[in-house]
Amino acid sequence: MSLTFDTLREANRRRQLEWPGNDEIDTAFRTIEIAGEGGELVAAVEEHLLASLNALAVAGHLGKVSEQMKKYLRAQRGIKGSKADLEAIGDEIGDTIIALDLLAAGLGIDLGQVAARKFNKTSAKYELHTRLPEGDEEEAPSHCEGCVKPINEGDPYFPYGDGVDACGDCAPLISDIIHNNEEMLGDEELSPEDREDHRDSLALMKKRLEEEGDVKVTFPHP
Ligand SMILES: [Zn+2]
């Protein structure tokens, strides 16, 4: 299964939350950013003569996105001149993605794979935790609910149940589990079996907290 746009959007959302200075990024900044990516792309494929027409097409569409964004921001800011709406911008973004896929196909590049690989390189470079599953990790038995990172056999993880897992970085602390158990025990509609489970867990976690301090609770993934 290849990377989906939904997965990419969610990983972007999560990573922007941890990206220092994210509050200062607006659509004008993004517009300049994509124009810059167009320039980088043309430079990167210069040597591939066969792909150069497709590369120019991508750069051309990126330029049109910037052009429509200029007209959109102009309208928003009350500057005189021709205007564009979100549909016009969406059309150009759609064209850009289609042209990118044609370019990538010509070079034998898997779009989902390179997007995930570069996303993860950038996360590693800036020491951010959010990761996307890469192609060769698709078979991982589970993925972290918090940061989307694959959880492989033997990796530390915490199972929340119902198939919801957390990786070693995102696993809860002993104090988190104690807090959760205490909260659950306060629920008057809790079944007697569940009540007993939470009491057992609470006792066990309090003992571990005394012995180990407040560490993350993980198990090796089976
Ligand atoms: Zn995680």
The DSSP-derived string for 151-193 is E-TT-EEEEEETTEEEETTTPPBHHHHHHHHHHHHT-TT--HH
The pLDDT of residue 117: 92
Rounded CA gap, 105 and 180, in Å?
Answer: 49
Say how many Å lie between the CA of residue 11 and the centre of ligand 1: 11
Q: How confident is the model at residue 188 (pLDDT cuts 50, 70, 90)?
A: confident
Which of 133, 97, 100, 96 has the alpha carbon at shortest distance from 117?
Answer: 133
Say how many Å lie between the CA of residue 157 and the centre of ligand 1: 9
Domain boundaries, the chain: 5-131, 142-220
Q: Is the pLDDT of residue 191 over 80?
A: yes
Say how many Å lie between the CA of residue 86 and the centre of ligand 1: 34
Q: What is the DSSP letter of 20?
A: T
Tens-place pLDDT, residues 14-54: 899 999 888 888 888 888 888 888 878 777 776 666 567 78
Give the dihedral sign, CA 207/213/218/220: negative
**What are the C-alpha distances in Å from 17 to residues 21, 32, 118, 129, 155?**
10, 21, 18, 11, 25
Say how many Å lie between the CA of residue 151 and the centre of ligand 1: 9
Around ion ligand 1, which residues have CB less than 5 A away?
144, 146-147, 149, 167, 169-170
Q: Is the pLDDT of residue 200 over 90?
A: yes
CB 166 within 8 Å of CB 172: yes
Say how many Å lie between the CA of residue 169 and the centre of ligand 1: 5
Say how many Å lie between the CA of residue 46 and the centre of ligand 1: 38
